[in-house]
Chain A
Amino acid sequence: MQPFELLQPRTLEDALDRLADDEEARPLAGGTALVVLMKHALLRPERLVNLKRIPALQGIDWSSETGLRIGALTTIREVEQHQAVRTWFPALAEACHVVANVRIRNLATLGGNLAHADYQSDPPAMLIALGARVRIRSVSGEREEPLETFLVSGYQTTLEPGELVTDILVPPPTAGRRMQYLKFTTRSAEDRPCVGVAVSLGLEGTACRDLRVVVGAVSSTPVRVAEGEELATGKVLTPDLIDEIAGRAASAVDPIGDVRGSPEYKRRLVQVLVRRSLLGSVTEVSA
């Protein structure tokens, strides 16, 4: 690995100052992606700005009014184990729980995961299903954006040079909301997803008030199955309707073929997993 300078700011302001107008500097969060890229000489930054010592980027807050705030430097493991996440967003805890292995989860951060924008990842799809937003800071100010538009393409976000993701914001779930995350791997159990399906279902009695279905890992960004979501609104999710939504999901995706599966197989998996996740969600309703 090329030698580099390590800067260790203690405040967010200091970090933003150091990143502003310095194209040779890169922010370092958990390092699970960045350090690998550096070891393979795919990236050769002259300076790394370590964000791990900045208290403002840490921690998880929950309130029933404003929902969840997750500091960008919170590790995937912390999110997975946090009681409020487990209580109010069990599927987000699950989507974090299935990331890689415990050694990675103890290092990798949620903000780093989103900013890296690797398309083969679990948390983004679930967070989009939950309507998450990201808060972004730079020396010139602060902005917020839905995660759905923040992710532009594989390894591409709307982040401008000098900007940092500071928080991930998840609105509070409506009462009785069902949510699921299903991950399918074709290689080792701790592999990146071949396909990930995130579902968030709001109910009015037994009927669907609103539904979000997001398919991760098959395209350069998570894919929302808008057609299927609309189909469900106002209706009871019968097995037939679920089959139809699953079919729409399969045709809505345009999977990338890779070592984890061919486009054809991934399309099939999307159909099966959307069906299973919706069936799982409504079984709870009828119980």
Chain B
Amino acid sequence: MSKETELDPVEAKMWISVTINGAKNAYLVEHRMTLADFLRKVVGLSGTHLGCEHGSCGACTVIMNGKAVRSCLLLGVQADGASIETVEGLAQDGALTSLQEAFHVNHALQCGYCTSGFLMSLVAQLRDGPIETEAEAREALSGNICRCTGYTGMVKALLNLPASNGQIGEGL
């Protein structure tokens, strides 16, 4: 039973403190706003994209406390006290990370809409260990959907990452 009309939209907000790409700030967030919309509309980081908004496509993937998660299936208020990494945190001063560079060189994107979600999924997985075979690459890509590339460019990009996989960390 919905009682949405009884709720005062002004009241249904709370202050949260969240670290985004290393910078900690306080924000006033509507209870019902998803983490994805919070990042895009309140924080202004529109690199996180929304595709399906029900957890199937992976376009909205961000890293929360070290884990890749769907930001459309979390509430912004749930990020209170958390550390969030988005695609904007990857390249520093315009210098692409090795993963982004490998995407660029291997034609791993066409329209680019899904790319930020792929990058964040892969950053989290590469921190857990290298991706060395085509089977591993396809498994790593399986939680995200791309409708342009057919994934071959992305598999190539992963298999052609510089052999520095072991040292992939914050700067990936």
Tell me whether A and B are bound partners. no
Residues of B within 8 A of A (CB): none
Q: Which residues of A contact B (CB under 8 A)?
A: none
